[in-house]
């Protein structure tokens, strides 16, 4: 057989094979379209079923996502078996295992964020709406997905944080409880009466709006002998959001300043004392000279 005839025969065999597989490929495409429709329906059903459930929104989103992934996994396997009849479920699972290892090495960070996102969605400590602080980022959690978390900072900037960063590093949840302790330092002059100043400061703090006095006491401690003053550590409890803390701090600072001024107690500026080893001569001069 001549080379041209051999090549022609091979091309004809390939063409016949392609034509024979067209119905299978079309059926596989139909199965993929059907999988897309079924996944969308399942997501809608899960969303409707979980709407009244007493679950956190993040858990509802996770359950909906996992159901969609399960539908797509089954649909892709079924489409592969139809398009390639020589495949068996065992071979497909083996290929998926080998492929998952290769993909895992290639997309290590993506899968790391994915697994961290699932763990974050499952645990109860951090919820959507909480204020958190992490690695210099402080703001409100707007959304949690399986790959990233959106944090709206107090200056209204949006920070997109990979979930692996939230999972690996210490995370401070500022609104884990409804109340938070706040502290300022206030100094009085050395000539003033410490006990009197302490009571005046405590009464001023108690009179401020936003200071919680029902279950948590207001604490005023003499802290240290500073360079120009005796410093008090003033501690009280207020709401846990950053805005609650700022408003409360503003009210307390204003009230303490006003109360100390009304009582005639000095809040000193920094003083500097100069000591000379020998007598310093003083010469009076006439201003007209």
Q: What percent of the chain has pLDDT over 70?
A: 77
Residue 97, pLDDT > 80, answer no
Is the four-CA dihedral 137, 141, 146, 148 of positive or negative sign?
negative
Token pair in block for residue 117: 């996102």
pLDDT of residue 258: 95
Asked, for residue 142, whether it belongs to a domain, the answer is yes
Query: How many Cα atoms occupy the beta-carbon half-sphere of 25 within 13 Å?
Result: 6
CATH number for the domain spanning 158: value is 2.30.30.60
Domain boundary among 138, 156, 173: 173
Same domain, 81 and 29: yes
Same domain, 62 and 141: no
pLDDT of residue 273: 74
Crossing angle (nearest 10°) for helices 89-106 and 57-83: 130
> Taking all residues of the chain, what is their mean pLDDT, rounded to a whole number?
80
Domain boundary among 136, 156, 173: 173
3-class state of residue 232 by DSSP: strand
- Mean pLDDT for 127-132 is 88
Domain that holds residue 247: 179-262
Determine the Cα–Cα distance for residues 241 and 218; give it in Å rounded to an integer.
19
Lowest mean pLDDT among 167-171, 192-196, 235-239, 274-278: 274-278
What tens digit of pLDDT does each residue of 138-162 get?
999 998 887 888 999 988 999 999 8
- Contact criterion met (CB below 8 Å) for 204 and 188: no
Count of domains in the chain? Answer: 3
Q: What percent of the chain has pLDDT over 90?
A: 32
Strand segments, DSSP code E, in 202-277 are: 219-225, 230-239
Instruction: Quote the Cα angle for 216-222-226, to 5°.
Output: 140
What tens digit of pLDDT does each residue of 165-194 get?
888 888 899 988 889 999 999 999 999 999
């Amino acid at each position: 057989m001549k080379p041209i005839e051999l090549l022609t025969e091979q091309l004809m065999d390939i063409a016949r094979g392609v034509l024979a597989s067209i119905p299978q490929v079309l059926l596989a495409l139909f199965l993929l379209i059907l999988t897309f429709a079924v996944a969308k329906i399942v997501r809608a059903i899960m969303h409707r079923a979980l709407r009244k459930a007493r679950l956190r929104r993040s858990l509802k989103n996770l359950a909906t996502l996992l159901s969609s992934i399960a539908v797509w996994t089954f649909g892709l396997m079924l489409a592969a078996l139809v398009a390639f009849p020589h495949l068996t479920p065992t071979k497909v699972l083996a290929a998926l295992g080998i492929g998952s290892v290769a993909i895992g090495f290639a997309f290590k960070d993506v899968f790391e964020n994915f697994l961290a996102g699932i763990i974050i969605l499952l645990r109860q400590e951090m919820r959507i709406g909480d204020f958190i602080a992490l690695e210099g980022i402080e703001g409100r959690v707007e959304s949690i997905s399986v790959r990233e978390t959106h944090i709206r900072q107090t200056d209204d900037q949006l920070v997109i944080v990979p979930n692996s960063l939230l999972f690996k590093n210490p995370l401070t949840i500022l609104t884990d409880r409804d109340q938070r302790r706040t502290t300022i330092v206030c100094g009085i002059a050395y000539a003033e009466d410490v006990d009197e100043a302490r009571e005046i400061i405590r009464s001023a703090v108690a009179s401020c709006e936003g200071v919680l006095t029902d279950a948590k006491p207001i604490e005023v401690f003499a802290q240290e002998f500073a360079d120009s003053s005796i410093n008090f550590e003033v501690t009280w409890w207020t709401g846990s959001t950053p805005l609650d803390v700022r408003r409360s701090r503003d009210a307390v600072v204003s009230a303490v300043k006003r109360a100390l001024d009304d009582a005639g107690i000095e809040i000193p500026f920094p003083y500097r004392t100069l000591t000379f080893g020998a007598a310093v001569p003083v010469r009076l001069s006439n201003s007209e000279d």
